[in-house]
Structure 1
Amino acid sequence: MKKIFVSGCYDIIHAGHVQFFSEARALGDHLTVCFASDLVLWNHKERRSSLPEEHKLALLRNLTMVDDAVIGENEAHGLDFQDHFRRIRPDVLAVTEDDQYAEMKKALCAEVGATYVKLPKTPPQFPPVSSSGIVQWIQAPDVSPLRVDFAGGWLDVPRYAREGAYIVNCAISPTVSLRGWDYEKRAGLGGSGAWALLNGKSGVSSELNLGVGWQDPAVIRESGLCVWKSGDRPSLYLKRDGTMLGRRMALFYTGSDHDTPGVVDQERNYDLIEKAGLVAAEAVERNDFDRLAEAVAMSYQVQLQEGMQPLPEANGARGRKYCGGGFGGYALYLFNGATERDQFVAANEAARPIEPFIHPTI
């Protein structure tokens, strides 16, 4: 009888695991699957187990291609299965192409006379998923805020980052969900970041892959009124609840699409962007609304220099700017108070009130 052995975390059994088990079982006559114990999973991945160990044993042992399942409890990193491996003395250790512990496993195989076999990747029978991805999907929120940015935009794009500079933004309500999205799309409010969060993803990597910045998914996940350090990845410098912005913000839809990737390489006044970010960061630190309005006005001047069309005037508005940097979508207006804001909204079908959003648990 030719004995095959595989090991892994296998925290949540999914179709990708089943396909791998089937391919491994085809190498011989008996397949043993070893999965990481709760303690090993915590120590090695800092993750709680999604299912009790006895449930995993029952699931694995009842798969038609699995002949036995055992729990890997050895604390050696990457070799939690080695005690069972030495006891069973299998003929083959089957691994995936992305095995990170090849040399250690080959040495263990040599010790017991087993063959180390790396199974080639075959086309997945189902869309690929991972246990961590499933956990993220389960933990994904039902609703998400969007965001408005005040100053420092573009300095979250890694190639434009500046040491000592800041990006200032705020998560907003009304919120959105997979079933309800009461905003225009492609409108400069960080919708792709919200969509990622609602689908159990961080969104930061996907935004960077598009060649744009990380600020949208960062503040949407964090919530609140935030000051971020400019750099390659999100680094939160300061966070407020946004109380000073209550009943003072409105959005105005310009009627055209927002397209950040399309203008990311355009020339712009990065010195003034940095200055506006510094002013806005100071404003948040001091809870100074007037100073924040100054920073928004500075950001708007940068946008006009880029060639964006002037935005309509509004009585009582202390500052206005396009949301994001894409020449369209929504514009943000800051007002002296609720009366002026509500009058602006009542007089403009394209306007709507918004409020700062912070997660209730924070």
Structure 2
Amino acid sequence: MKRIFISGCYDIIHAGHLQFFEEARALGDHLTVSFASEDVLWHHKQRRSSIPDEHKKAVLEGLRMVDEVIIGTDHDLGLDFKTYFLEAKPHVLAVTEDDQYEVIKRNLCEQTGATYRVLPKTPPKFDPISTSGIVKWVKAPTESPLRVDFAGGWLDVPRHAREGAFVVNCAISPLVSLRDWNYEKRAGLGGSGAWALLNGEDGVESELDLGVGWQDPAVIRETGLCVWRSGPRPVLDFKRNGDILAGKLAILWTGSEHDTPGFADDERDYEKIEASGKLARQGILDECLQQLAEGMQVYHSVQLEEGMTPLPEIEGSLARKYCGGGHGGYAVYLFESKASRDDAVEQTPDLRAVEPYCR
């Protein structure tokens, strides 16, 4: 009988593991699967096992291609099964191409006369997934806010950042989910940041890789009415729960999508953008809607200088501006009262009420 041996953490069993088990079992007549004990997992990776060892052992033993399961308890890094291996002397130690412990496993095989066998990557039967990917998916929220930005936009793009400047934004509801997205797409509300969060990702790195700023995933993850320090990465200056904006926000769909990366390096007045952020920041500190509105209007003047189409005036609004990079998408309107906001929503096509969201 030709006995095959494989090892791993197998913390969350997925289809990729099963394919590896089947391919390893095909090398001989008997397959032993070893997994690192809870103690070993904590010792080397500082994380808990997904389930107790005896439960994991029972799950593995229930697989049709597995003949034996052992729990590795040795504290040798990469060789938690060493004691068993030296005694049992299996014929083949099978590993995947990306195994991290080739040298020490080859040395172990030399001690026992076992064959060290690397299984080549074969096309997966399912889209590849990892244990860490599963953990991210499980931890991901089922719903996420989007966001509106008030002032300081583009100063979250590292190459346009300014020391002492600020970016001001707010997470909003209604919330979105992977199955329910009741907003237009590519519309300046930070949808890519929300999508990343819903899939268990941070989102900051992917936005920076696109050559744009970090403000969308930062405020969507943080929630609330936030002031950020301009810089290469998100640093929160302070935040409010957004109550001062309750009943006073609405967004207007302008009828066309926009492309933020495509506008990232257009010429614009960054001095005025910096001034808008400082005005809006002070307005939030003082809980003064008029000063927040002033910051928004200063920023909107920059957008108009860039050549964006003037936004319609709506009765009862204090300020307005395009969200995100502008040139389409949604525009945010700030109203003096809930009554004026609700009247405007009732009378204006494509204008919808939104609310600040703070978790």
Q: Please, what TM-score do these two structures have when normalized by structure 2?
A: 0.88
Q: Which structure would you say has the larger Rg? A: 2
Moved more, 307-316 or 203-212: 203-212
Q: Match for residue 247 of structure 1?
A: 247
Residues 74, 292 of structure 1: alpha-carbon distance in 2 compared, 3 angstrom cutoff: farther
Residues 267, 72 of structure 1: alpha-carbon distance in 2 compared, 3 angstrom cutoff: farther
Residues 220, 28 of structure 1: alpha-carbon distance in 2 compared, 3 angstrom cutoff: same
Q: Match for residue 223 of structure 1?
A: 223
The equivalences for 1:1-362 within 5 A come to 1-359=1-359
Moved more, 347-356 or 228-237: 228-237
Q: 1:247-269 deviations in whole A, cap 9, x for unaligned?
A: 12111111111221332332333
Equivalent residue letter for 2:319: G
Residues 15, 173 of structure 1: alpha-carbon distance in 2 compared, 3 angstrom cutoff: same
Q: 1:206-258 deviations in whole A, cap 9, x for unaligned?
A: 43343333322232222112233444444434232111211121111111112
Distance in 1, matches of 2:115 and 2:140, equals 42
Q: 1:8-52 deviations in whole A, cap 9, x for unaligned?
A: 221111111111122223333332222233344345445443333
Q: Secondary structure at the match of 2:17?
A: helix
Shift of 1:169: 1.7
Distance in 2, matches of 1:281 and 1:41, equals 47
CA contact 1:224–1:357 (8 Å) conserved in 2: yes
Distance in 2, matches of 1:119 and 1:236, equals 48
CA contact 1:272–1:299 (8 Å) conserved in 2: yes
CA contact 2:303–2:326 (8 Å) conserved in 1: no
Q: Secondary structure at the match of 2:171?
A: strand
Residues 126, 280 of structure 1: alpha-carbon distance in 2 compared, 3 angstrom cutoff: same
Residues 345, 35 of structure 1: alpha-carbon distance in 2 compared, 3 angstrom cutoff: same
CA contact 2:4–2:30 (8 Å) conserved in 1: yes
Residues 274, 138 of structure 1: alpha-carbon distance in 2 compared, 3 angstrom cutoff: same
Equivalent residue letter for 1:225: L
Distance in 1, matches of 2:234 and 2:324, equals 17
Shift of 1:326: 3.8
Shift of 1:112: 4.3
Q: Any stretches of 5+ residues in structure 2 without a counterpart?
A: none
Residues 64, 309 of structure 1: alpha-carbon distance in 2 compared, 3 angstrom cutoff: same
Residues 71, 247 of structure 1: alpha-carbon distance in 2 compared, 3 angstrom cutoff: same
CA contact 2:147–2:219 (8 Å) conserved in 1: yes
Residues 114, 177 of structure 1: alpha-carbon distance in 2 compared, 3 angstrom cutoff: same
Distance in 2, matches of 1:103 and 1:191, equals 46
Distance in 2, matches of 1:108 and 1:168, equals 59
Residues 158, 99 of structure 1: alpha-carbon distance in 2 compared, 3 angstrom cutoff: farther
Moved more, 69-78 or 306-315: 69-78
Distance in 2, matches of 1:54 and 1:76, equals 21
Distance in 2, matches of 1:166 and 1:52, equals 48
Distance in 2, matches of 1:91 and 1:304, equals 74
Q: Please, what TM-score do these two structures have when normalized by structure 1?
A: 0.87
Q: Any stretches of 5+ residues in structure 1 without a counterpart?
A: none
Aligned residues: 359
Residues 58, 292 of structure 1: alpha-carbon distance in 2 compared, 3 angstrom cutoff: same
Moved more, 166-175 or 39-48: 39-48
Distance in 1, matches of 2:284 and 2:39, equals 43
Distance in 2, matches of 1:67 and 1:53, equals 17
Residues 13, 149 of structure 1: alpha-carbon distance in 2 compared, 3 angstrom cutoff: same
CA contact 1:262–1:326 (8 Å) conserved in 2: no
Moved more, 141-150 or 257-266: 257-266
Q: Secondary structure at the match of 1:5?
A: strand
Distance in 1, matches of 2:181 and 2:209, equals 25
CA contact 1:157–1:211 (8 Å) conserved in 2: yes
- Report percent identity of matched pairs: 63
Distance in 2, matches of 1:232 and 1:23, equals 46
